Amino acid sequence: MTIPKIRVGVIGTGFIGPAHIEAMRRLGFVEVVALAQNGEEKAREKAAKLGVPLAYGDYRELLLNPDIDAVHNCTPNHLHFEINKAIIAAGKHVLSEKPLAITSRESAELLRLARERGIVHGVHFNYRQFPMMKQLAQMVKQGEFGPIHLVHGGYLQDWLLFDTDFNWRLDQAAGGRSRAVADIGSHWCDTVQYVTGKRIAAVFADLRTIHPIRKKPVAGGVTFGLQTDGGETAYEELPVITEDHASVLVRFEDGSKGSFTVSQVSAGRKNALSFELNGSRKSAHWKQEEPASLWIGHRDKPNEVLMADPSLFLEEARASIHHPGGHTEGWPDSLKNMMLQYYTFIRDGKDPSKDTPSFATFEDGHLSMCITEAILQSHEEERWINITT
């Protein structure tokens, strides 16, 4: 007997949408049946390119299709609230890109609506899905490091270094009141909170905008795009008020502390998410760009490097590593793990009000919004701000 596949629609197919589609296709029990874009022609072109059977020029038409079980929202930030709300109202499971919304008021409402409707809700915080993060979280849980005193690190990129670099994220109306913090700091916070099992309770932040005026190409720009026209582009000036970088002190709920730096203007740093945790027994350091290694630091014996390897991993981490040691799994594999966790939860008929998923949910997405807003408030008022959800 063949078990029917879970049928999925994807809204928005720029940079991250196709990565979702590829990850879902690796599962075997999920089928991408439709996509939606803003505009019929663009939708049809994308569907042909990605081999997706149905194309909609308006996401509301996709939501009317009764054969679609779950919908991914991969659109720019300002559309997350409206589209997530419509997906919930259509009674379909929803996997939203981060940030969950533009304000915590909106994210609180989405969480409430998703719970009321009983659908499975997820937010695409994919870094916690790396095999090594599952292993580290389990090591921390088992007390290998002792109580964690200190967590520090950062998330650095360089794709917005020049004033001619442009993306919709720079426009507050599309990206929201925060940029570097909401876009990548949110990933750092989710990963670190997942690994330590502790929530961030308060923040003290200092933000800066390097380019208050940017040059926006009249023809628009693409995510992670390079200017390759040899200086021929026509620009218009765009005032920018969102932060290019931020330094944030954090206090966790148990009183332990830490700090992180986020930046989209650090030359040479591409997707440099990293952190170190220092416990009473030992330390650990991990960087996303070399995801198969975990440095483990000791006081009284030589330090170690743990290589990702199912035969060396704890049982709880093994479901997230799919290849033998040395066959390095990376960023696209973290998306596969996110989809695997999310769709296994749906396939197994789990109840989001009773079962705790190991993927990020709207609850985590809402917490993330509250942390971002506290960081903005802390910068404005130059003081510690407690996180309230």
Contacting residues toward ligand NAD, per CB under 6 A: 11-17, 36-38, 59, 74-77, 79, 97-98, 124, 126, 168, 183, 223
Report the nearest approach of ligand NAD to the CB of residue 9 (Å): 11
Query: In b/e form, how buried is each residue of 191-215, taking b as 16+ CB within 10 angstroms?
Result: bbbbbbebebbbbbbebebebeebb
Residue with smaller CB distance to ligand NAD, 283 or 368: 368
DSSP-based three-state secondary structure for 152? strand
116-150 as b/e, with b when 16 or more CB fall inside 10 Å? ebebbbbbbbbbbbbbbbbbbbbbbeeeebeebbe
**Distance in angstroms (rounded) separating the CA atoms of residues 8 and 5:** 9
Q: Before 99, cis peptide (omega within 30)?
A: yes
Shorter beta-carbon distance to ligand NAD: residue 19 or 296: 19
Of the candidates 28, 25, 39, 31, the residue with the CA atom closest to the CA atom of residue 9: 31
CB of 62 to ligand NAD, least distance (A): 9
CB of residue 291 to ligand NAD, shortest distance in Å: 14
Rounded least distance, CB 105 to ligand NAD, Å: 18
Q: Which two tokens stand for residue 116?
A: 């009321």
For ligand NAD, which is the closer residue by CB, 201 or 369? 369
CA distance 244 to 160: 8
| DSSP string computed for 66-96 | TT--EEEE-S-GGGHHHHHHHHHHTT-EEEE
Q: Whole-angstrom Cα distance, residue 358 to residue 337?
A: 10
Confirm if 190 and 134 have CB atoms less than 8 A apart.
Answer: no
**Shorter beta-carbon distance to ligand NAD: residue 25 or 318:** 25
Neighbours of 315 (CB within 10 A): 8
CB of 14 or CB of 310, closer to ligand NAD: 14
Query: Please, are residues 177 and 240 in contact by the beta-carbon 8 Å criterion?
Result: no
The residue (of 75 and 263) whose beta carbon lies closer to ligand NAD is 75
176's torsion region: left (phi>0), alpha (psi -120 to 50) or beta?
A: left
Q: Please, what is the minimum distance in Å from the beta carbon of residue 12 to ligand NAD?
A: 3
We find the least distance from the C-beta atom of residue 320 to ligand NAD, in angstroms, to be 17
Least distance CB 130 / ligand NAD (angstroms): 12
Report the candidate in 264, 259, 260, 222 with the shortest Cα–Cα distance to residue 240: 264
Q: Which is nearer to ligand NAD, 180 or 306 (CB)?
A: 180
Minimum gap (Å) between residue 152 Cβ and ligand NAD: 22
Q: Which is nearer to ligand NAD, 45 or 144 (CB)?
A: 45
